[in-house]
Amino acid sequence: MNILANFLYNGLDLAGIPRFPFMLPLCLSIAIVYKTARCNNLKELPVATLILWVTIVLGMVGVGVGLWAVFSILA
């Protein structure tokens, strides 16, 4: 079987910290699409995209840490 087909058929078992790097390109693509639709000047696009990308990633990490803290307190 093809390597790619095998990967897509069986999936990838990741848990914990190794899942985090897969979030980064997803957040970057969302930031690029959003800022491309919102920016009037294309010269602003790289900086605005980078700021939004960092904001999204830090927000998701903050929510994750907050939920982990609530779970640790209640568990």
List, for residues 10-37, the tens digit of each pLDDT value.
877 788 888 889 899 999 999 999 999 9
Residue 41 has, within 13 A of its CA and on its CB side, a CA count of 4
Residue 40 lies in a domain: yes
Residue 45 lies in a domain: yes
Residue 7 lies in a domain: no
Domain total of the chain: 1
In eight-state DSSP terms, residue 41 is S
pTM above 0.85, yes or no: no
Residue 11 has, within 13 A of its CA and on its CB side, a CA count of 3
The domain in which residue 70 lies consists of 28-75
CB 32 within 8 A of CB 56: no
In eight-state DSSP terms, residue 40 is S
Question: Which residue is listed with tokens 């609530």?
Answer: 70
Q: How many Cβ atoms sit within 10 Å of the Cβ of residue 20?
A: 13
Residue 62 lies in a domain: yes
Whether 1 shows a pLDDT value over 70: the answer reads no
Residue 19 lies in a domain: no
Residue 71 lies in a domain: yes
